[in-house]
Amino acid sequence: MKKFLTIFLLIIFVGGGLFIYWRFFWVFGEGVKAGQLNNLMKKGYVFKTYEGRLIQAGFQGGQAGSVQSYEFRFSVVDDKVANQLMSNSGKDFELHYKEYMATVPWRGTSVYVVDSILSMKDSKAIQNPFTP
């Protein structure tokens, strides 16, 4: 009986560890998002994390002929990436991100975690067509 209980507890422990790894630390997907950085802030009660929003323009809305912006909410773990984003708010970025199945408090409040900046450029200012 003692051997059975030891094997059963070992299976539960290993299975639980695999589930926790799969749920919180396994990278579900990777990708690139492009748009204008709206804001990036450091916030939190216990774990201070960087949370940001990237505005992607040009997606069609629900009604015909309407254009609606799309907001990409993300977290940033690396201080260097966060500082570069914070000092260049309002510019156009291409950001590489990793998607996780669930969040952990020290990684941020979003399942999307930006890990690098692929490109950065000034936003295209809307010019007045009547100005020479």
- Residues constituting the chain: 132
For every residue of 91-102, DSSP letters joined together read SEEEEEEEEESS
Q: Hey, how many other C-beta atoms are within 10 angstroms of the C-beta on 96? A: 14
- 10-residue mean pLDDT profile of the chain (132 residues): values are 89 94 92 92 93 80 61 93 91 94 92 94 63 52
Read off the tokens for 24. 């919180």
Identify the three-state secondary structure at position 66.
coil
Q: Which CATH number fits domain 27-121: 2.60.40.1890, 1.10.760.10, 2.40.50.140, 3.40.50.300?
A: 2.40.50.140
Q: Where are the domains of the chain?
A: 27-121
Report pLDDT digits (tens) over 77-90: 999 999 999 998 88
Distances (CA, A) of 131 to 122, 126, 127, 128: 21, 12, 8, 6
